[in-house]
Amino acid sequence: MAVPAHLQTAGHFAQREGMMNQHLSPAVSPHAPRLADLLIRAAAIYSMAQDRAVYRAIAIRDEWIVAVSQDPHGLDGLIGADTHVLDAPVLTILPAFEDTHNHLMFAAQNMGLVPVDRAHTLAEFIDLIRQRAAQTPASTWIQTSAAWHEVNLAEGRLPTAPELDEATREHPVVVRRGGHVAVANSLALTLGGITRDTPDPQGGTIVRFPDGTPTGVLIEAPAYAPITALVPASTFEQMVEGLKRVC
């Protein structure tokens, strides 16, 4: 039988009513059909259940997941004459993403950055950066996780360059907030060539104090790209470690 188009690629397979989160055992449920339409043997099948179990075989019937097994051949009893068997020893399978705006690699990258989401006040926010600076060689870039929002701080606002300078003046600091805002300390602004005379780029905003001096808040990529382009990219090993922690 032909494999349905939406079952042909890793990361897009049948999921209804959160079935992969039910942590099905290799035993077939009483209501499951006797044989499978599709059986996949893969390197890893992630259930995303709380115990983070990883399976090696999955059986599907009428787009429903009817069984999973940690043994690659644990579901062979569900193979019939019309069952399509896909042996893919290098394939990784993930549940279908209901959130189509998922940033898995971005989340992995965040895992090694300053966890400012833990802060409840700007003082705590700055102190987390200060702690990282104390462990980081001078002149090395310091970045924060982007997974936070100023509404969760008592002050309800973004930090400014002068406030970030209180954490360190010896390190360029970039605070990321989501995917559209960055805040830089004074050293980072200098390295990026952003001054009071720098005009707002098309599609971006350099937020300023009343005297025209940049506050450090940069809105949208055209504004903060001169700075973020200077930040060393995460290494392959760092991304792999981040993915392990995220998943």
- How do residues 131-146 score in pLDDT, each as one tens digit? 999 999 999 999 999 9
Quote the CA–CA distance of 27 and 165 in Å, as a whole number.
Answer: 59
Tell me the per-residue pLDDT of 61-119, one tens digit each, with 9 for 90 and over: 998 899 999 999 999 999 999 999 999 999 999 877 665 566 778 788 888 899 999 99
Residue 244: phi and psi, rounded to 5, are -60, -40
Is residue 89 within 8 A of residue 45, CB to CB? The reply is no
Say what percent of the chain tops pLDDT 90: 66
Looking at CATH, the fold of the domain delimited by 104-246 is given as Diaminopimelate Epimerase; Chain A, domain 1 (3.10.310)
98-107, 140-149, 175-184, 187-196: which has the minimum mean pLDDT? 98-107
Average of per-residue pLDDT values in the chain? 86
Domain spans in the chain, listed from the N-terminal domain onward:
5-93, 104-246
CA 57/CA 68 separation, integer angstroms: 6
Query: DSSP secondary-structure letter at 22?
Result: G
Q: Is 48:91 a contact under the CB 8 Å cutoff?
A: no
**What is the CATH code of the structural domain delimited by 5-93?**
2.30.40.10
**pTM (two decimals):** 0.61
* Tokens standing for residue 193: 């060539």
Q: How far is CA 142 from CA 5, 123, 137, 160, in A?
A: 44, 17, 10, 15
